Amino acid sequence: MAAKAFEKQGMKLLTGATVKSLDKKKSGVTATIEKGGKSEKITAERVIMAVGIVGNVENLGLEGTKVKVDRAHIETDEWGATGEKGIWAIGDVAGAPVAGAQGLP
């Protein structure tokens, strides 16, 4: 659904592709992309990077506990406490904000 919406806006989606290099010039950025053993160059005005966070919540032995998992993240209160007494979760597994930000005063 998201892919269709992006394509409607004129975006070209490349999945299973790896960005091998970025060459920044005044006119834009040329990305060398490898996909299926083939290499291609795409030049764009800008490059942005966005990654999602998916917690590794499987096989942690949470079954049968009061720890709640919502969309691959462990639900906690503002102190990192889960629904199960004595079990805490911080960092990426607890979802945004990311761990780096949580470590800051």
Q: Would you tell me which residues interact with ligand FAD (CB under 6 A)?
A: 51, 56, 59-60, 91-93, 98-101
How far apart are CB 73 and ligand FAD at their closest, in Å?
11
Give whichever of 3 and 98 is closer to ligand FAD, judged by the CB atom.
98
Give whichever of 58 and 77 is closer to ligand FAD, judged by the CB atom.
58
Give whichever of 14 and 98 is closer to ligand FAD, judged by the CB atom.
98
Say if CB 65 and CB 57 are below 8 A apart.
Answer: no
Question: What is the distance between the alpha carbons of residues 22 and 61, in angstroms, rounded to a whole number?
Answer: 42
Question: What is the distance between the alpha carbons of residues 81 and 65, in angstroms, rounded to a whole number?
Answer: 13
Nearest Cα to Cα of residue 47 among 24, 26, 15: 24
How far apart are CB 51 and ligand FAD at their closest, in Å?
6
